[in-house]
Amino acid sequence: MVIQAKFVSGANAAGARPNPLVKAAVREELSLIVERRVSGRWKDPKRYVLMTNAPLSPRLRRDLEAEIGKELPGADISLQGAQDLDTWLDALPAVRLSFPQLLGLRDLEALLGGVVNADVVERSRSLIDLAKELAPVFVPTSLYGNALTVLNSRHFVVLTGPPEMGKTCIARMIALAKVSAGWDAVELRDPADLFKMHDPARAQVFIADDAFGSTEYHPELANKWAADLEMIFSKISPRHWVIWTSRPTPLQSALRVLSLHGPAEHFPEPGKVQVRADRLDPMEKALILYRHARAAELGEEALQFVKEHARRIVQSPHFTPLRIHRLVADDLPRIMSLPVADRLPELQASIGRGLREPTNNMRTSFTALPGEHKRLLVSMLDASAGSSDRDSILEAYERHALPNGAYGSSEVLDMLTEHFISVEGE
C-alpha cells in the first residue's frame, strides 16, 4: 500500500489566522505533486495523510479534502488537526518516545497534567524544566534512535563524544518522553543519588551527565562509580534505565579504573552500550538548523533564506548544534535586517566567526583547565609549519613545558583529544 504523509505547521509568530497558512501550504504541496507526477517521480498513493498543529474546523476540513481530492481522486484522504494530534500524543506514549519532536507541538504542561500523576511531575520537575526548552528544536537523529535501541535491550547507555554535539539533549529528551509515560526522571551527581532515589515500585530513568567530569577526567568520580558498579548494575532493569554522558577521554580513563576494581566483569561490553554523539550527517544538521529557525519565529523570509543556504551553513563537521543555535539566535536576525544583496556575504562571515570563535561553554572549559593543559594548547601555535600531527604538537609542548609536571606530554595530549583538539596521524 502506498501512503503519502505531510505535516503542515499552523504556528505563526505574527498571529495570522491558521486557515490561510494551512491552505497555502497544502496548495504548495499539491503543486509539487503535479511536478513530480509529470517527471515520473510520483506514484499516486492509496492513502494521503495530512497532519497539522492548526485547528481544523469542519468547514476547513471539507475545503481541504475537496482540494486534495481534485489531484488525488482515487486516494483515501485523512486529515489530522491540532485536537487529533493532542489526542494521539496523550494516548500513545510510544509515539512520544519514538518521535519526541512532537512534544514541541503540544502544550507540554497540559499534556503532563492530563496523562501523568502530579507527584511524578513534581519529582521530575527539574528535568522537565530543562527539557521543555529543547522540545521545539530537538531533532531525533539516528544517534537518538541508537540510544533508544541500546536502552531497550540493555537498559543502560553511555552517550560519548566531543562537547556541544547534543549528548545532554538526547538524554533529557529521552527522560522527558519517559516522564510523559509516567516514569520518574532523576539527575545523578554521584552513585549515592541512585541508591537514595531508586524505587523498585516505580519506573525511573536516571541521568548522570558528564559522569566523569565536564572539562577533564576526575579520578575521584570514576572511583565512586567503580566502587559501587556491581550494586549499580543490580538496580538496572526494564523499568529502571541509566544514561551516562561523557567526553571520550574521561570515559576511557574511567573504564581503566573500573577494570581495576574487580566488578568490571559486570560492566556491559563498552562497544555495546556506547553511542557516539559526533556523527551527525549534513541532513540531520540541516534539520536542526531549520527547527531552530522556526522556533526563533523570524518569519517566512528568514526560513526561506535558511532553506536556500542550509548546506553552506552546516557543511563543516565543526559546525556543532550549539554553534547552529548561536548562529540563529545571535546572527540571523541581524542578517535578515540587511539589504538582500548583503545577506549572503554576511552569512558567510558569520559562519567563519562561528567556527573561529569559541562558545561560552568552551571558554568556561578552557578556564577550568590545569596549567599544563593550557600550555599544550598554546604550544600548538609554535608547532612546526602550523602542523597538527601528534609528533609536531608534542615537540612544541616539550619546548614550552615546565619541569616536574604532573603529567607526561603524551598524557596531556590524550586528555585534550576530542575535547579541545583532534589529532591527525593517531
pLDDT tens column, 43-68 = 788 888 888 877 888 888 888 888 88
pLDDT in the model for residue 259? 59
Tell me which range, 117-121, 383-387, 398-402, is most confidently predicted by mean pLDDT.
398-402
- pLDDT level of residue 41 (50, 70, 90 thresholds): confident
Residue 181 DSSP class: T
Minimum mean pLDDT range among 6-10, 87-91, 277-281, 334-338:
6-10
- Spell out the domain ranges in the chain: 3-80, 93-276, 282-356, 369-416
Name the 3-class secondary structure at 317. Answer: coil
- Torsion on CA atoms 145, 147, 152, 156, rounded to nearest 10: 180
Grid cell 497539522 in the structure block, residue: 52
CA 357 to chain centre: 22
Choice between 125 and 167, residue whose per-residue pLDDT is larger: 167
**Mean pLDDT (whole number) for 8-18:** 51
Examine the pLDDT at 99 and tell me if it is beyond 70: yes
Q: What is the pLDDT of residue 182?
A: 84
Which pLDDT score is estimated for 58? 87
- Chain-centroid distance of CA 108 in Å reads 18
d(C-alpha 197, C-alpha 203), whole Å: 11
Which residues is 421 bridged to in the sheet?
417
Q: What's the pLDDT at 422?
A: 62
Mean pLDDT (whole number) for 207-228: 68
In this predicted structure, which of 109-123, 212-226, 347-361, 379-393 has the lowest mean pLDDT? 212-226
pLDDT at res. 15: 43
Give the torsion through C-alpha atoms of 304, 11, 320, 248, to 10 deg.
-150
DSSP state of 386: G
The pLDDT value recorded for residue 53 is: 75
Residue 418 has pLDDT above 60, yes or no: no
The confidence score (pLDDT) of residue 391 equals 79
Cβ atoms of residues 174 and 147 within 8 Å: yes
Instruction: For 344-391, write each residue's pLDDT tens digit.
Output: 999 999 988 888 877 776 777 777 777 777 888 888 777 765 556 777
> Which residue matches cell numbers 577533564?
216
Contacts of 349-358 with CB under 8 Å at 24 or more apart are 351/312, 351/313, 351/316, 351/319, 351/327, 354/319, 354/323, 354/326, 354/327, 355/316, 355/318, 355/319, 355/323
Global model pTM greater than 0.75: no
Reported as a pLDDT band with limits 50, 70 and 90, residue 333 is very high
Torsion of CA 370, 372, 376, 381, to 10 degrees: 90
Architecture of domain 93-276: 3-Layer(aba) Sandwich (3.40)
Helix (H), strand (E) at residue 124: none
Side by side, which strands form the sheet with 76-80? 3-8, 47-52, 76-80
C-beta separation of 143 from 275 below 8 A: yes
pLDDT surpassing 50 at residue 13: no
Question: Mean pLDDT across the chain, nearest whole number?
Answer: 77
* Confidence category of residue 94, pLDDT binned at 50, 70, 90: confident
Mean pLDDT for 11-24 is 60
Of 69-73, 151-155, 397-401, the range with the lowest mean pLDDT is 397-401
Distances (CA, A) of 56 to 60, 71, 82, 373: 6, 21, 7, 59
Q: pLDDT-based confidence at 263, cuts 50/70/90?
A: very low
Average pLDDT over residues 153-165: 82
The span from the CA of 94 to the CA of 89, in Å, is 9
